[in-house]
């Protein structure tokens, strides 16, 4: 095929009263540009009034192409190329502006990418304004990042179109991926009905959420255990899923499966970086949002929500802990693997680099919870999850403090007189009914204080995840069924 | 491309709303207290207004606002009532 034949077959749409066929403009400088590119706008404006021989090929719909020429005052023939930008793809235009000097036979003789005043002066044989900048780098062509014409990539956009997402890109749940995720389990087996819309969680749908979240198949037993735990009526997922509160579902993972899957319990235990933690937590949230219909802004009415509602999966650093792991404390045998579900608010960091005694540290940790939920709503009748960093845990270990003693010390340390909790805002019936000097504890019971150890070896930063109040949401632990 | 859906796409058959009575006079009206802060206070006022209009008011409640009403409560309202008001507060 000749060069001109190639050009004539490109789906360019003439705009305005200019030539109907791009071949009729040759020889010419075909200037590829689009409206979202500042360098394109600069180039078009610099060429305004000096554009003899230029033909604008805008990566836009025709109306937008006309508007682009109008706003930059570039009075030249204009052609539009809507998605999938075949002209740009065919001619190898990966950045804009790109100027192609094309001869009468349709052959490209020169190519200038970005704004380059000297190159344009040479190519067009004109003198251009000397205003700075004389050079500016190009932007990506729409053909590069618009996925509608790209083989395979449009699957990601398709997921957004279907609403199968939490706002981030997801992995498309193809039958092959689902089969791998299920690992031979029966796809139609029912796990339960997921609030608030009570969609039935079959294994296949849970697997779809795990795939969407980016899980590897070996993570599935943990996802499944987390879903089963979340569906325990005592957890009251229904209330959590629709509330205006920010609370989300936090997963704590214990046992050997942490190492088997590579769950991170050390540096950055609450933060980014570890695929197993992030995708397992995300899978549970997708089950709630998609299978259960608890999608933010629809049935999920959270005023703010919090980032942990995208994903929050904490692996306990049992190796750095002086205490029995959370799942053992909750009655499962040592050596088993388990998930524990807690309804909780976002983490609040607690810096303490100076405490010398366990009493001091317990007091600091406990008082950090003083403003969670509300500074005046005392006592909290719900759980606070404390993530104790290894250096803090070490102080308790050095003094032989068991978990129960830490909890008791925190509980005993944090109280305020009822008189100070009244008159500032909403508070509890207990505060309203108390004598002014009656000390009100932060929690209604020391058992409301949950302690897990996680984090890296250095730094004395622990955290508290505030409560989900009014839901009567129990903490639920579920053993993970898996084999090595 | 074929995908496996995470959604439960079963469609529940729509149910017809019960017949509108056009008047509350003589009707058995249940007030369902959802146990939010000051729900009762709010319903006390509604009860007075309904009684002024001739309704026969009955009161029931949910143990907690954060969970669906127990079946027994729903059944009682359905069997022994003509109208129901589910009341929020805060």
A66 has a pLDDT exceeding 70? yes
Q: Please check whether residue A142 touches B, CB under 8 A.
A: no
Given a cut of 80, whether residue B1 has pLDDT beyond it is: no
- Taking each helix axis from N to C terminus, what angle separates A390-398 and A358-368, rounded to the nearest 10 degrees? 140
Residues of chain B with Cβ-Cβ distance to A291 below 8 Å are: 6-8
What pLDDT does B87 receive?
82
The pTM is what? Answer: 0.75
- Interface mutation vs chain B, best among A208, A232, A233, most B CBs within 10 Å: A208
**Residue B15 counted as domain residue:** no
With CA atoms as reference, the chain B residue closest to A194 would be: B8
Residue A326 has pLDDT above 60, yes or no: yes
B4 to A207: CB separation less than 8 angstroms, yes or no: yes
Mean pLDDT (whole number) for A21-30: 93
Picking from A56, A53, A40, the residue whose alpha carbon sits closest to that of residue A103 is: A53
Is-contact A229 A476, C-beta < 8 A? yes
Indicate the pLDDT class of residue B22, thresholds 50, 70 and 90. Answer: confident
- Mean pLDDT score, A226-248: 96
Residue B63, in any domain of the structure:
yes
CATH for the A3-148 domain, from 3.40.30.10, 3.40.50.300, 1.10.10.10, 3.40.190.80: 3.40.30.10
pLDDT at residue B37, rounded to an integer: 82
- Note the pLDDT of residue B10: 85
pLDDT in tens, A139-153: 889 888 765 544 555
- Mean pLDDT of the residues in chain A: 94
Q: Which domain holds residue B83?
A: 28-87
Mean pLDDT (whole number) for B32-58: 93
CB distance B3–A173 less than 8 Å? yes
What integer is the mean pLDDT of A204-219? 98
DSSP single-letter state for residue B17:
P
At A294-324, the pLDDT tens digits run 999 999 999 999 999 999 999 999 999 999 9
pLDDT digits (tens, 9 = 90+) for A336-345: 999 999 999 9
Interface touch B7/A238, C-beta < 8 Å? no
Taking the Cβ of residue B19 and every Cβ of chain A, the question of whether any pair is shorter than 8 Å is answered with no
| A446-469: pLDDT as tens digits | 999 999 999 999 999 999 999 999
* Residue B16, pLDDT score: 87
Q: How many CB atoms lie within 10 A of CB B41?
A: 9
Chain B residues closer than 8 Å to A175 by CB: 2-4
Residue B90 touches partner A, C-beta closer than 8 Å: no
Q: What is the DSSP letter of A147?
A: G
Output the pLDDT for position A424.
82
Q: Give me the mean pLDDT over the A406-417 stretch.
A: 98
Residues A101-155 have pLDDT tens digits of: 999 999 999 999 999 999 999 999 999 988 888 998 888 898 887 655 445 558 8
What is the pLDDT averaged over residues A375-404? 98
Two structure tokens written together for A159: 């997921």
Secondary structure (3-state) at A366: helix
A200 touches chain B (CB under 8 A): yes
CA distance B7 to B9: 6
Which has the minimum average pLDDT: A306-320, B4-18, B63-77? B4-18
Per-residue CA distances from B87 to A57, A426, A436, B42, B47 (Å): 62, 21, 33, 8, 11
Instruction: Pick A175's closest partner by Cβ from B4, B10, B67.
Output: B4
CB contact B3 to A (< 8 Å): yes
Percent of chain A with pLDDT over 90: 85
Q: What confidence score (pLDDT) does residue A8 get?
A: 79
How much is the pLDDT for A2? 64
Measure the CA–CA gap between B32 and B72, rounded to whole angstroms: 13
In this structure, is residue B45 part of a structural domain?
Answer: yes
- Give Cα separations from A463 to A116, A270, A327, A371, B27 (angstroms): 53, 9, 19, 13, 56
pLDDT mean over B39-45:
90
pLDDT of residue A139: 86
- Per-residue buried b or exposed e for B4-22, using 16+ beta carbons within 10 Å of the residue's own CB: bebbbeeeeeeeeeeeeee
The verdict on a CB contact (< 8 Å) between B66 and A197 is no
Question: What is the sign of the dihedral through the CA atoms of A377, A381, A382 and A388?
Answer: positive
Question: Which B positions 56-85 lie with beta carbon below 8 A of chain A?
Answer: 64-68
Domains of chain B: total = 1
Question: Which residues from A are below 8 Å from B67, CB to CB?
Answer: 236, 238-239, 472
A51 vs A222: which has the higher pLDDT: A222
What's the pLDDT at A56? 96
Confidence check on the interface: ipTM exceeds 0.90, yes or no: no
Which residue of A290, A425, A430, A431 is the best one to mutate when testing the B interface, meaning the one whose CB has the most B CBs within 10 A? A290
Residues of chain A with CATH 3.40.30.10: 3-148
Q: For residue A259, give the H/E element and its range.
A: helix A257-261
CA pair distance A68, A108, nearest whole angstrom: 24
Q: How confident is the model at residue A60 (pLDDT cuts 50, 70, 90)?
A: very high
Q: Across the interface, which of A155, A212, A472 has its CB nearest the CB of B6? A: A212
């Amino acid at each position: 095929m000749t060069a001109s034949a190639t050009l004539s077959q490109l789906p360019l749409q003439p705009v305005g009263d200019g030539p109907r066929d791009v071949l009729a403009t040759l020889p010419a400088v075909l200037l590829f540009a689009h409206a979202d590119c500042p360098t394109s706008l600069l180039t078009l404006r610099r060429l305004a009034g000096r554009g003899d021989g230029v033909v604008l090929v805008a990566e836009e719909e025709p109306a937008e192409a006309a508007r682009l020429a109008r706003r930059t005052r570039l009075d030249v023939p204009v052609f539009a190329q809507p998605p999938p930008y075949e002209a740009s793809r065919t001619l190898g235009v990966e950045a804009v502006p790109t100027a192609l000097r094309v001869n009468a036979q349709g052959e490209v003789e020169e190519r200038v990418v970005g704004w380059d005043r000297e190159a344009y002066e040479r190519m067009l044989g004109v003198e251009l304004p000397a205003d700075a900048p004389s050079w500016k780098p190009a932007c990506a062509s729409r053909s590069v990042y618009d996925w509608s014409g790209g083989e395979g990539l449009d699957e990601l956009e398709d997921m957004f179109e279907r609403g199968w997402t939490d706002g981030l890109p997801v992995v498309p749940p193809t039958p092959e991926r689902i089969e791998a995720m299920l690992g031979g389990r029966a796809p139609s087996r029912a796990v339960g009905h997921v609030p608030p819309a009570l969609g039935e969680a079959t294994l296949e749908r849970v697997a779809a959420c795990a795939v969407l979240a980016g899980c590897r198949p070996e993570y599935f037993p943990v996802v499944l255990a987390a879903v089963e735990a979340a569906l325990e009526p005592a957890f009251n997922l229904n209330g959590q899923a629709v509330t205006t509160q920010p609370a989300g579902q936090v997963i704590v993972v214990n046992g050997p499966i942490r190492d088997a899957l590579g769950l991170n319990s050390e540096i950055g235990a609450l933060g980014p970086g570890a695929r197993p933690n992030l995708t397992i937590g995300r899978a549970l949230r997708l089950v709630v949002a998609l299978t259960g219909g608890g999608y933010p802004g629809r049935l999920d009415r959270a005023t703010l929500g919090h980032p942990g509602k995208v994903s929050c999966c904490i692996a306990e650093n049992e190796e750095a802990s002086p205490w029995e792991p959370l799942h053992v404390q909750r009655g499962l045998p040592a050596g088993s693997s388990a998930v524990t579900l807690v309804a909780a608010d976002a983490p609040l960091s607690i810096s303490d680099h100076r405490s010398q005694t366990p009493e001091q540290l317990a007091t600091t940790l406990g008082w950090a919870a003083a403003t969670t939920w509300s500074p005046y709503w005392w006592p909290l009748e719900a759980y606070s999850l404390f993530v104790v960093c290894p250096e803090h845990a070490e102080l308790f270990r050095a003094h032989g403090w068991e978990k129960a003693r830490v909890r008791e010390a925190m509980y005993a340390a944090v109280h305020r007189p009822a008189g100070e909790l009244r008159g500032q805002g909403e508070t509890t019936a207990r505060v309203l009914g108390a004598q002014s000097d009656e000390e009100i504890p932060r929690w209604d019971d020391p058992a409301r204080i949950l302690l897990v150890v996680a984090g890296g070896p250095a730094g004395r930063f622990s955290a508290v995840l505030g409560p989900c109040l009014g839901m009567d949401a129990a903490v639920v632990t579920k053993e993970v069924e898996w084999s090595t | 491309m074929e995908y496996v859906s995470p959604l439960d796409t079963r469609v529940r058959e729509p149910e017809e709303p019960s017949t509108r009575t056009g008047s509350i006079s003589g009707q058995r009206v249940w007030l369902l207290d959802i146990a939010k802060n000051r729900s009762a206070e709010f319903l006390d006022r509604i009860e007075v207004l309904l009684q002024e209009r001739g309704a026969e008011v009955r009161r029931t409640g949910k143990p907690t606002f954060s969970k669906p009403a127990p079946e027994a409560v729903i059944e009682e309202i359905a069997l022994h009532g003509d109208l129901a008001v589910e009341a929020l507060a805060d």
